[in-house]
């Protein structure tokens, strides 16, 4: 599967990666303990490898994979995320990323196109005017961040399940993978991709999606944590292998359903 993509103008990827690395708390694989202060925790999962923590780390990841399966079972494709009135919208809706707002990708809409790949009949890339012409759906839902805070936003765009049908995607495939302008990526399960509220989002509060919220396109998934809602999307692939994602590869739970 090709991972290369057009570099959006105005984004120095080296600089971005350097800045992102600075913000990362620790080398990602060291999720474990700080010192031996947590007496109780030591005995259970770590076995003999208490000082190093690698064993704990992999045991915790095994449980996290188990939790992926439990969440897939808990996920009801017909259960809708609660919707809110306009008055409940959080203003200003927060910008959130692992980089600052002025480092966010500044995508040139004339150059941009949505690349389509994988198990799809029609792989023709989509331009922004073409996407704007598709039937629009709208939702006012709660965005829940993995950190705990939440905010209510208003999103408009194309129902992803309709779009997948339109391009002749194999919806028996297991995953949909998204690539983003700044190098972010994310894989979601097909049942979530087909959920009635999962959206190719082109607008926020009925205005063209601003740069801060992912111009020109984000994926809005109100049944998943915020980091599973990729912004600045440039490519979408339907596939059977789980390609993980930017944060998942550093230890966040993959399914992260709400």
Partner 1 sequence: MTIEATVGPPLAPRTTAGLVIHPRWVRVTHWINALAMLMMIGSGWQIYDASPLFGFVFPRQLALGNWLAGALLWHFAAMWLLMVNGVAYIALGILTGRFRNKLFPVYPRDVFHDLFAALRGRLSHDDLSVYNAVQKVLYLGILLTGVVIVLSGLSIWKPVQFHALTSFFGGYNTARYVHFAAMTAIVAFLVVHVTLAVLVPKSLRAMIVGR
Only one of the segments 61-69, 102-110, 167-175, 201-209 lies at the binding site for partner 1 (rule: CB under 8 A); that segment is 61-69
Asked if residue 85 binds partner 1 (CB under 8 A), the reply is no
Give the span between the Cα atoms of 55 and 231, in whole angstroms.
34
β-partners of residue 241 are none
Residue 77 Cβ vs partner 1, minimum distance, rounded to whole Å: 11
Under 8 Å between Cβ of 176 and 187: yes
- The β-bridge relationship of strands 207-208 and 199-204 is antiparallel
Query: Is the backbone peptide bond immediately before 92 cis, with ω within 30 degrees of 0?
Result: yes
Only one of the segments 74-82, 113-121, 162-170, 230-238 lies at the binding site for partner 1 (rule: CB under 8 A); that segment is 74-82
Asked if residue 258 binds partner 1 (CB under 8 A), the reply is yes
Asked if residue 145 binds partner 1 (CB under 8 A), the reply is yes
Alpha helix segments (H runs only) across 2-153: 13-23, 39-46, 54-74, 128-132
Nearer to partner 1, 143 or 159 (CB): 143
Residue 60 Cβ vs partner 1, minimum distance, rounded to whole Å: 4
Of these, 61, 95, 127, 134, which contacts partner 1 (CB under 8 A)?
61
| DSSP code at position 158 | E
How many angstroms separate the first and last alpha carbons of the chain? Answer: 30
Residue 220 Cβ vs partner 1, minimum distance, rounded to whole Å: 13
Give the C-alpha distances (Å, rounded to integers) separating 27 from 16, 31, 183, 237.
17, 8, 19, 29
Of these, 63, 123, 206, 240, which contacts partner 1 (CB under 8 A)?
63
Nearer to partner 1, 19 or 83 (CB): 83
Nearer to partner 1, 95 or 132 (CB): 95
Asked if residue 150 binds partner 1 (CB under 8 A), the reply is yes
Give the span between the Cα atoms of 219 and 86, in whole angstroms.
21
Question: Residues 13-26, buried b or exposed e (16+ Cβ, 10 A)?
Answer: eeebeeebeeeeee
Comparing CA positions, the residue from 250, 188, 256 lying closest to residue 28 is: 250
Site for partner 1 in 5-44 (CB under 8 A): 25-26, 28, 30-35, 37-41, 43-44
Of these, 95, 99, 142, 212, which contacts partner 1 (CB under 8 A)?
142
Nearer to partner 1, 131 or 151 (CB): 151
Chain residues binding partner 1 by CB under 8 A are 25-26, 28, 30-35, 37-41, 43-45, 59-61, 63-64, 67, 74-76, 79-82, 142, 144-150, 222-223, 247, 250-253, 257-258
């Amino acid at each position: 599967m090709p991972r290369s993509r057009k570099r959006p103008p105005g984004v120095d990827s080296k600089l971005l990666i350097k800045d992102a690395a600075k913000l990362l708390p620790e080398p990602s694989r060291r999720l474990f303990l700080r010192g031996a202060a947590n007496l109780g925790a030591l005995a259970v999962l770590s076995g003999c490898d208490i000082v190093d923590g690698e064993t704990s780390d992999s045991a915790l990841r095994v449980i996290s994979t188990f939790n992926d399966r439990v969440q897939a079972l808990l996920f009801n494709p017909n259960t809708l995320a609660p919707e809110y009135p306009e008055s409940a919208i959080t203003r200003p809706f927060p910008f959130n990323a692992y980089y600052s707002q002025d480092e966010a990708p500044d995508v040139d809409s004339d150059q941009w196109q949505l690349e389509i790949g994988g198990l799809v009949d029609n792989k023709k890339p989509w331009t922004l005017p073409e996407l704007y012409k598709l039937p629009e759906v709208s939702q006012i839902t709660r965005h829940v961040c993995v950190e705990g805070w939440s905010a209510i936003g208003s999103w408009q765009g194309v129902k992803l399940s309709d779009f997948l049908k339109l391009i002749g995607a194999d919806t028996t495939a297991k995953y949909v993978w998204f690539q983003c302008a700044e190098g972010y990526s994310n894989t979601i399960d097909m049942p979530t991709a087909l959920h009635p509220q999962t959206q190719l989002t082109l607008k926020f509060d009925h205005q063209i999606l601003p740069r801060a919220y992912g111009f020109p396109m984000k994926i809005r998934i109100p049944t998943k944590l915020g980091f599973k809602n990729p912004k600045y999307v440039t490519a979408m692939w339907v596939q059977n292998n789980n390609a993980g994602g930017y944060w998942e590869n550093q230890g966040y739970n993959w399914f992260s359903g709400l």
